[in-house]
Amino acid sequence: MTGQPLFCPPIQDIPEIDMSQNALKQALERTIGVVSNDPAKARLLFRTRSRLLDGVRCSAEVRDFPPIVVDEPAELGGSNAGPNPVELVLVALATCQEIMYAAYAAVLGIPLEAVEVNVKGELDVRGLFGLDESVPAGYRKVSFETVIKSPADLATIRDLVARVEAHCPVLDTLIRPVEVAGTVTVNGTLLNTPVNHAV
């Protein structure tokens, strides 16, 4: 699937609105109605493009937003010009959780005063540097704490938490085996061996 989903206009065509809980509910219910009537419109393709600038500093592009600078701290050879990729994984989890709380609370009519998610990731750089093949290159453990302020009763909040944690796309991506496949092109020539990480 390519291009913008049919129910979502290009970002530049969306007027500025007050995204109150009621407005958020209306926007989500419109989208839910569209995909319920035509499940083919539920399948989306998200894209990003990144390039190495200098050292380990990269510039990533998403839609029409300004480029995101990604770098490493000095200890890992960078100039500390931006967050590093594994920090962005934590950012993705935290913000996805917060968005899902806002979305489900709006649709279900649950008042929220504040939601904050704090995420930690434990990583052993011996895996990154290839010093010990028994050590994974990525996170060994990711933990998060969600702090909610709401006048709703605890039973309602427990139900909200269960819904969010069951349907958060980034949390799902982190805990479920996901097929990752890629190709490598060198000087305009596609390498014979594809990069395919089967689940």
Question: What number of other Cβ atoms are within 10 A of residue 93's Cβ?
Answer: 21
pTM of the complete model:
0.86
Q: Letter for the amino acid at 113?
A: E
User: Low-confidence residues of the chain, pLDDT below 50?
Assistant: 1-18
pLDDT tens-digit series, residues 43-84: 999 999 999 999 999 999 999 999 999 999 999 999 999 999
Domains of the chain: 84-199 (3.30.300.20)
Residue pair 138/173 in contact (Cβ under 8 Å)? The answer is no
Sign of the dihedral defined by the CA atoms of residues 16, 19, 25, 26, in that order: negative
Half-sphere exposure of 46 (CA within 13 A, CB side): 4
Question: What number of other Cβ atoms are within 10 A of residue 185's Cβ?
Answer: 8
102 burial type by CB count under 10 A (0-12 exposed, 13-18 middle, 19+ buried): middle
State which H helix or E strand residue 174 sits in.
helix 169-175
Residue 131 has what pLDDT?
97
Residue pair 40/7 in contact (Cβ under 8 Å)? The answer is no
Residue pair 96/170 in contact (Cβ under 8 Å)? The answer is yes
Residue 197 has what pLDDT?
74
* Helices marked H in 54-136: 85-108, 125-128
Residue 199 has what pLDDT?
66
